[in-house]
Structure 1
Amino acid sequence: MKHAYWERVVYYSTKGLKAIAIVFVVAIVTYIVFPYREGYLATNYKVPITIYDRNGMVLMEITGDKKGLSQYVDMKGVPSEFIELLLFSEDRNFYHHWGISIKGIARSLYQNLKEMRIVSGGSTITQQLIKSKKEIIHNTVISKLAEIIEAIRLECHFSKQEILQAYLNEIYLGNNIYGFEKAALVYFDKHLSQCDLLEQAFLISMVKAPEKYNPYQNPDTIVKLARMLLDRASQSYLKLTPMQKDAYRNKKIHLQYSENNVCAPLFCLYALSKARELFPNKDITKIYTTLDAPLYKDILAIVRNSLSILKDKNALHASMVIIDNKTMEIIAMIGSIDFFDYGKGQIDATLIKKQAASTMKPFAYALALDKGIFHTSSILPDVYTQFYSKVGNYIPKNFSQSYHGPVRLAKALGCSYNIPAVYVTSKIGIVPFYNFLRSIGFDSINRSPSFYGLGMVLGNAEVTLMELANAYTIFPRGGIYSQANAIQKVVDASGKEYVVSPRKGITVLKPSTCYLISHILSEYKYKVEAFGLHSAIHFPFPFAAKTGTSKDFKDNFVAGYNSKITCAAWVGNLYNETLDNLPAVSGAGIVLKNVLVNLWDKGFSFENFTNAEKEIKSIKICLLSGLPATSWCPQTEYELYALYNLPKGLCNWHSHGKTTVPAEYAGWAAKKHYNVSQKSDIRIVFPKNGAAFKIDTTIRKSLQAIPLRVASTQKEIWWFVDGHCIGKGCEIVWQLQQGNHVICAQADKHKDYVNIVVLE
C-alpha cells in the first residue's frame, strides 16, 4: 500500500511540475511576442533636451531619460571601421544570433563556477543595451535570466540596425556620459567620425568597465587595452600596413581635461529636475536657465584655485551658490569643482544635507529683535550655563572654550559666541524658532522641534547649502522670503514656450530688523575681538557675512550678502573625513573672499546697506552695560536700534569711578576686579516666577527634572520646596511633581521665592 501511495505522489507531482513548466513557457512566449510601445528605442535620445544659460549660451545637451551627458549620432555618421572594431570586441556574432550567445553564456557560466562568484556576463550587444535601458548595475541569477528573455524579445521586434543604433547612443562610458559621440566630444574634443583608430579603440575598451577604466584616472591602462584590441583585430580581419601599426603603437592619446563641451553640468541636472517638477506632463526640448555662464566659469576657476591651497588641510571639495536678490534667480551654482572627478565629482554638494553650524545664528537673533525680546545692546550672559531639556541638561560651550561675561547682543552675534546664542533661543522658544526656520525654506529640518532642541541655533540640524543661501536672502530683501528659481522658461516639442513667473514672496521679518542684522554682520567692529584684524571676512567693501564650523572640523560654511547678491559656500570632504583643524573663517571664508574680491576688481558694485531712516535710531551707549551712557561710562559708542525697541533707563553699572556688575557675573567680575551688585545677596535665576512645566507621560518621571539655579555672592545656598529642604548648592536638580509649588533659596538671612506650577 505504501509503495502505491508514493507512486501516486510521484505521478501527480510530475504532472504538476509539467503543468507549471508549460504555464511558465507560455507566459514567457506571450511576453516575448508582446510588442513594445512605439518608438521604444528611438524617442528618448533622438530629441535631446538643450539647456541654455540666461544669455542663450548652450550649457549642455542631455537625454530625456538619462540624467547624464549625451549627443545623438546617426549610424550614417559613424565610420564603418568603428562598427567593425566594436563588433569584433563586443559581439562578433551580432548579425547571426537572436539576442544571446550560447557560447558566451557557457563560457561565463564556466568562469563564474570556477571563481564561485559572478565575474563574467557573456553579454551580447543586445544584452548590454537591455542593461543600459533597465539600468541594471549588479548581475544576479534572476537579473541575468530577465536580461536573456528581454534580449530575445528585443530581437523579435527590432532590426539589427535599430538595436545597434540605440546601442551607440545608450551605452554608458563613464563620467556620466552616454553614447560614443558624446564620449568622443568630451574626451577628445572631436566628433566620433573624426577619431583615429587608436581613439576609437580607446572608447570601445571602456565599455566593459567604464568606472574602473576611467580615462581621467587610468589613461595609460585604457591605451594599453586599446592597443591590445587593435593587435587582435589586425591578426583577424583588420588589414594594417606596418606603418599604420607603428602609428597606433607609438601614438599618444591627448585627453581633454576641461569641460569643453559642457558647462555647469550639475546645475543643468538641477534645472532639469526643477523643469520636470514645474511641467511634469510636457515634452520639454529646451530649458532656458537663470545661470550666468561667464560668471560661473570665472567663479569655478577661483574656487578651484582657492581649494588647491587648502588641500593640505584635507579640504578636497567645495560648492557655492549665488542668488540675485532682486529677481531671486540663481546666477551661479557650483556643485563640485570637477564634474569628471572619478571620486565625488558628480555629487552636487549644494544639495547634500550638512550641519551648517554658526551660520544659523543670525536667524535666532533676527527673530528675537523682531519680537522685541531683546534690542541690539541687550546684555546676554556668556557664562557657564545649563539649559533644561526633557532629555537632560544642555551645557553649550564657546568655540574658544572660554567665557566673556556680560556681552551685548550685537557683539555676541558678530563674535559668534555660542552660549549667548543658545540663551537667546531659549527666550524665543524652541517651537517658534523651529517654525521660523521652516517658514524660510529649511525643508530639511523635518524632525520634531524637541529632536533638535536648543542646538538648532548652533546648526545641529542638517540643511543644504541651497537652503542656506535661499534663507539668507531675507536680510537684503527687507524680510521677504521667496524661493530661488533656476529656470526662466521652457520650450516643448511643438515649440510652445512656458515662462516661469517669479514666485510670490511672504513677509517674515520687519525691514528694520533686517537692516540691524545686516549692520551687525557687515561692521567689522563687532567681529574683531573673535576674528582679529586680518580675518578673511573683513572685506574692503560693504558685505555682511557669517561663518560656521561644524563639530570636529567636518564642514566649513559661510553665508553672506550685499544689496545685490546673496552667496553661500561650503568647504569640506565628501569622504566624510574631518578637516585638519580648519575653521570656516580660514577655509570657506577664504573661498568667499577670493570670489568677492574678483567681482570687485571687475567693477561689480558693492553698495552700502540702506534703511528707512524713520525706523532706525542711533543712541550713545555704555559698551559694558549696553544701556544709554552717562558721564561715568569709560567706554562708549553709538548703537543702532529699531524705534519700537529702544533701551530703557541709563547705565547704572558705572558710578563715581567704580564698576558694579550684576551678581550672576560674579566669577567674571572677580577677574576684571569689578564690584558685584549687593542689592540682593540672593536671586533665583531659574525657574522664573510664574513658570509652568508639564510632565510628559511618555517619559519616565525619574528623568523629568529641572535645574534650580541662583545668582548670589553667598557660598552656601539652601533650597526649599513647599517648606521642605531638598538640598544645597548654587545649582541643584529637582524632580518635577504635579501641583503648585513655592521654591525658596536661602543664604544666611537672605531669601528669594518663586511660584511655579507643574501640570500632568
Structure 2
Amino acid sequence: MKRLAPSLLLLLAAGAAQGAALPTPAQVRAAYRPSDAVMLDRHGAPLQALRIDRQVRRQPWVALADVSPALPLALLQAEDQRFMEHGGVDLRAMGQAAWDNLFRRRPRGASTITMQLAGLLDPALQAGAGGRTLGQKWDQVQAARALDAAWTKPQVLEAYLNLVSFRGELQGVGSAAQALFGKAPSGLNVAESTILAALVRAPSADVALVTRRACALAVELHAATPCRDIGMTARLAFARQVVAAPLPPARQAARQLLRGAGEQVRSTLDGALQRHAQAVLRQRLMALRGRNVNDGAIVVLDNASGEILAWVGNAGGSEVDGVTAPRQAGSTLKPFLYALALERRLITAASPLDDSPLALATAGGLYAPQNYEHDFKGFASTRTSLAASLNVPAVRTLLLAGQERFHERLLALGLRSLTEPADYYGPALALGSAEVTLLELTNAYRALANGGVAGDAVLRAVGGGQAAGPARRVFDAGAAFIVGDILADPAARSVTFGLKNELAATYWAAVKTGTSKDMRDNWCIGWTGRYTVGVWVGNFDGGAMWDVSGVTGAAPVWRDVMDYLQRGQPGTAPRPPANVLRRQVAFQPALEPPRAEWFIRGTETAQVTLPGGEGQAPGIVYPVDGSILAVDPDIPAARQRVFFLARAARGLRWQLDGEVLGGVDESAGWQPVPGAHLLELVDAGGKAVGSTAFVVRGQD
C-alpha cells in the first residue's frame, strides 16, 4: 500500500485522536498533495514541475467529471458491481466469498470500493504482511458504512480514483493515465480503462495477466474493442518510460524555490523570455560544439527591482546549475576596478595608462600579465584601456587603487564567492583570477546600471515572503556613470574588438566580455536602462575551449537575448548625475584624437600630458603608501623579488631606507626583507622627490 500524503495522515490521526467522524470529502481533497511542486512564472502560468515526494508519483487531484466515463464503468465491473446499490458493504458478495473460501481452491475477496477507500484513508486499516486481522476487517466494515452514510457515491468514487495505486509508484488516476498512456484521465478509451481497472486488483502483475483480465472485462462490458488492441495497448504502456508532464525548462530555478510536495510558487521569471533564452543558448552551443564548448548559462535581471526574469542553468543536458557554479571571472571585474579608481580620483577617463611589459613578484613567482592579442599599446587612456580590455593597465590601476580596497569593494557588491583574503589572489585579481558565480556577477553589474547602488537579486515573486533587502551605495554615481559610458563606446573598444561585433547594439547598451585563463570560461555581461543580462559559456568539467573569446562565445547569446528584451524600445543613454561634467580634452603628444570626455567634477582637464612629459610630477606608483607585502615561505628567499614602479621618473634613482638601489629603469628587483621600509625617489643630488612607506611581513 502506497503511503498517503503527510498532511492527509495528520488529518486522519487528528480525527482518530478526537474520536471524531471520518473526514469529509472536502477535507480529504484539501489534505491531498501531488508528489510534484510547480513553479509558476510571473504571470501565473506553470513553468516547471519538480518531483519532491520520491515515494510515490501523484498528479493534482482529478475531479470525477474530468475522468473518462469508460474508467468508472470498467472499475465498477471489476471491483464492485453493486456499488450503486449497497450501503458501503456488499453482504451478498461477502457471503459468496465466504463460501468460495471454504469450498473452492481459488479464494476471492469481497471488499467494496467503499471498504477499500476506508483502508486507504485510515492507516490502522491497512493490511500487514499476513493480511488484515479479524479486528481490522470488522473496523473496515464499520468505516465503510460510515463513509457511505456521510458521502455520496460520486464522492466515494472520486476519492478512490485519486488515492488507489495502479502500478509501481503510480498513485491516482492522474499519474497512471499520464505515465502509462501519456494523456489526461479525460482522454482514456475503453482499452486503457480496462487495463487500469485490471491493475487495481494486481498492480504488479505482468503484461500477459493484465491483458487477460482487461480482455475479460471488455467482454463483460460488451465493448467492441478487440482483445488484440487491448494487448497491444498494455505492452506499449508497460514499455513506456515514466516521465513528468512536459513543461518549459527552468529546473535549476525551480530547485531554488520549491521545497514541499504539492506547493505552487510564483516566481519572478517570465515564461516567454525563459523559453527564448533557453533556445538561444542551445543554438549557440550547437554552433560552438566543434570548438569544445558544451555548456552555458544565462541570467536576466530587472534593474529597478532586482527580479530575476530568466534563469537558464544549462542548455538542458546536465544537472549542474551554471548560474550558481563558481567560475573564474576573467576581465569582467575590470569595470569595478576602474570605478574604484575614478571614485577615488586617482584617474580620469582621459588619464594615460602605461601598457608596457610589467613583471611583479608574487607568492607564486614573477607575475607578467599580457594582453589578449599578446602585444602592448604603449600608453592608452583609461577609456581605451577599459573598453579594449587591456590587461597591463588594469594591473597598474590595481596597484594604484589598492588591492585590499578593491577586494573589499567586490565583497560589498555581493561577490560572496571571493572567500579568500586579498593577498591570496594577488595582482591577478585585476584580471579576474577569483571565482564568481554568474548570478553574483550579473547582479554586481546591475549596481553599475543603477548608478552605483547595489541590492539583492530576487527569484520569488512579491508576496512570497522574500524581500530584496535594503539598497546600498557601493560606488559614487559619477564613477558608475563614466564606467557605463566607456563600456557603451564602440569606438573605444575597437582597438581590440574592431567596430563591427556582437557588442555594437543598435540601442544604448554597456557591455563587457571576459575570458579566463586557458579559455576555460567565457563571459558577456551588460545592461541597458531596464535590464542586465549575464551569459557564461564553457565546460562544466573545466575543459578548455578552442580559440573562443568573449566576442565569439558568449556575446552572440547576450546580444540575441538583449535584442529580444529591447524590441520596440529605443534604449536611450542614462542621464548624467549632478557630479559629472563633459569637457573637450586633447592629448600631448597626440596619444588619441581630441574628444569630449566625462569627468567627475573637480578632476576635469583640457589637456592630458603623457607621464614623463611636461606637467607631470614624478611619483611612486608601486608600492602605494601603507602597503603590506608578504614573504612566501614556500619560495626560496633568493628567488623572491619586488619590482618598484614610478611615473615621470626618467633620470631618477630608487633609495630604500637611505640606501641607493639604482636607477628607476633598472628591473633586477629588490629581494624583500621583513620589516618596515621607506622607499624614495631621489634626483642626482640625493633630494627626495617622492616617497612611500610599506611593510614586509616575514614568516610566522
- TM-score normalised according to structure 2 size: 0.68
* Same amino acid, percent of matched pairs: 20
Mapping of 1:180-219 within 5 angstroms?
181=174, 185=178, 190-191=183-184, 194=187
2:599 is matched by which residue type in structure 1? Y
Mapping of 1:476-495 within 5 angstroms?
476-490=449-463
TM-superposition CA deviations, 1:614-637 (whole Å, max 9, x none): 6322222228677xxxxxxx8322
Partner residue in 2 for 1:464? 437
The secondary structure found in structure 1 opposite 2:293 is coil
Whole-angstrom distance in 2 between the partners of 1:503 and 1:158: 56
2:501 is the counterpart of 1:508? no
Partner residue in 2 for 1:733? 670
Mapping of 1:625-640 within 5 angstroms?
635-640=593-598
Structure 1 residues 461, 425: CA separation in 2 closer, same or farther (over 3 Å shift)?
same
Of the candidates 454, 471, 474, which is equivalent to residue 447 of structure 2?
A: 474
1:527 is matched by which residue type in structure 2? R
Mapping of 1:160-199 within 5 angstroms?
165=163, 171=169, 181=174, 185=178, 190-191=183-184, 194=187
2:303 is the counterpart of 1:325? yes
The secondary structure found in structure 2 opposite 1:616 is strand
Mapping of 1:33-52 within 5 angstroms?
45-46=33-34, 49-52=37-40
1:268 is matched by which residue type in structure 2? A
Of the candidates 406, 420, 444, which is equivalent to residue 379 of structure 2?
A: 406
Whole-angstrom distance in 2 between the partners of 1:154 and 1:403: 84
2:302 is matched by which residue type in structure 1? D
Whole-angstrom distance in 2 between the partners of 1:153 and 1:319: 54
Contact residue 45 and residue 169 of structure 1 kept, 8 A? no
The secondary structure found in structure 2 opposite 1:707 is coil
TM-superposition CA deviations, 1:188-236 (whole Å, max 9, x none): 7523675689999999xxxxxxxxxxxxxxxxxxxxxxxx963686589
Contact residue 686 and residue 709 of structure 1 kept, 8 A? yes
Of the candidates 592, 612, 617, which is equivalent to residue 577 of structure 2?
A: 612
How far has the Cα of 1:567 moved from its partner? 0.7
Contact residue 44 and residue 65 of structure 1 kept, 8 A? no
The secondary structure found in structure 2 opposite 1:538 is coil
Whole-angstrom distance in 2 between the partners of 1:455 and 1:197: 70
2:520 is the counterpart of 1:554? yes
The secondary structure found in structure 1 opposite 2:449 is coil
Partner residue in 2 for 1:415? 388
2:41 is the counterpart of 1:53? yes
Of the candidates 341, 356, 364, which is equivalent to residue 337 of structure 2?
A: 364
How far has the Cα of 1:348 moved from its partner? 2.3
Partner residue in 1 for 2:83? none
Whole-angstrom distance in 1 between the partners of 2:129 and 2:515: 57
How far has the Cα of 1:446 moved from its partner? 1.4
Partner residue in 1 for 2:113? none
2:409 is the counterpart of 1:424? no
The secondary structure found in structure 1 opposite 2:367 is coil
Partner residue in 1 for 2:254? 268
- TM-score normalised according to structure 1 size: 0.63
Partner residue in 1 for 2:270? 292
Partner residue in 2 for 1:435? 408
1:731 is matched by which residue type in structure 2? A
Partner residue in 2 for 1:138? none
How far has the Cα of 1:724 moved from its partner? 8.0
The secondary structure found in structure 2 opposite 1:318 is strand
Whole-angstrom distance in 1 between the partners of 2:576 and 2:681: 48
How far has the Cα of 1:575 moved from its partner? 3.7
2:505 is matched by which residue type in structure 1? F
TM-superposition CA deviations, 1:458-513 (whole Å, max 9, x none): 222111111111111112211111111122245xxxxxxx5655532011112211
2:393 is matched by which residue type in structure 1? P
How far has the Cα of 1:692 moved from its partner? 5.8
Partner residue in 2 for 1:706? 642
Whole-angstrom distance in 2 between the partners of 1:534 and 1:579: 23
Partner residue in 2 for 1:381? 354
1:264 is matched by which residue type in structure 2? A
Whole-angstrom distance in 2 between the partners of 1:611 and 1:731: 46
TM-superposition CA deviations, 1:541-588 (whole Å, max 9, x none): 111110111222222111100111111111222243322211111111
Of the candidates 494, 500, 507, which is equivalent to residue 528 of structure 1?
A: 494
How far has the Cα of 1:726 moved from its partner? 9.3
Whole-angstrom distance in 2 between the partners of 1:679 and 1:502: 47
Whole-angstrom distance in 1 between the partners of 2:581 and 2:248: 49
Which runs of 5 or more residues in structure 1 are unaligned? Answer: 1-35, 83-150, 173-177, 204-227, 277-282, 491-497, 627-633, 654-660, 663-675
TM-superposition CA deviations, 1:513-549 (whole Å, max 9, x none): 1211111001101101100122111111111110111
TM-superposition CA deviations, 1:688-739 (whole Å, max 9, x none): 6966656669888937652356789999999987558799953323231535
Contact residue 609 and residue 616 of structure 2 kept, 8 A? no
How far has the Cα of 1:309 moved from its partner? 2.0
Whole-angstrom distance in 2 between the partners of 1:453 and 1:715: 30
Partner residue in 2 for 1:644? 602
Whole-angstrom distance in 2 between the partners of 1:697 and 1:401: 29
The secondary structure found in structure 2 opposite 1:315 is coil
Q: Report how many aligned residue pairs link the two structures.
A: 579
Which runs of 5 or more residues in structure 2 are unaligned? Answer: 1-8, 14-27, 76-127, 141-158, 197-204, 217-225
Contact residue 388 and residue 706 of structure 1 kept, 8 A? yes
Contact residue 62 and residue 173 of structure 2 kept, 8 A? no
Whole-angstrom distance in 1 between the partners of 2:309 and 2:321: 16
The secondary structure found in structure 2 opposite 1:413 is helix
Partner residue in 2 for 1:230? 207
Which stretch has the larger CA shift, 56-65 or 706-715? Answer: 706-715
1:230 is matched by which residue type in structure 2? V
2:559 is matched by which residue type in structure 1? K
TM-superposition CA deviations, 1:111-130 (whole Å, max 9, x none): xxxxxxxxxxxxxxxxxxxx
Partner residue in 1 for 2:22? none
Structure 1 residues 74, 453: CA separation in 2 closer, same or farther (over 3 Å shift)?
same
Partner residue in 2 for 1:570? 536
Whole-angstrom distance in 2 between the partners of 1:358 and 1:267: 27
Contact residue 298 and residue 533 of structure 2 kept, 8 A? yes
Structure 1 residues 410, 195: CA separation in 2 closer, same or farther (over 3 Å shift)?
farther
2:547 is the counterpart of 1:581? yes
Partner residue in 2 for 1:347? 320
2:564 is matched by which residue type in structure 1? N
The secondary structure found in structure 1 opposite 2:499 is coil
Whole-angstrom distance in 1 between the partners of 2:689 and 2:52: 73
What RMSD in Å do the two structures reach over aligned CA positions?
Answer: 5.2
Structure 1 residues 253, 603: CA separation in 2 closer, same or farther (over 3 Å shift)?
farther
Contact residue 329 and residue 436 of structure 2 kept, 8 A? yes
Contact residue 455 and residue 471 of structure 2 kept, 8 A? yes
The secondary structure found in structure 2 opposite 1:567 is strand
Contact residue 719 and residue 746 of structure 1 kept, 8 A? no
Whole-angstrom distance in 2 between the partners of 1:748 and 1:193: 99
Partner residue in 1 for 2:503? 537
Contact residue 189 and residue 256 of structure 1 kept, 8 A? no
How far has the Cα of 1:407 moved from its partner? 1.3
1:295 is matched by which residue type in structure 2? L
The secondary structure found in structure 1 opposite 2:451 is coil
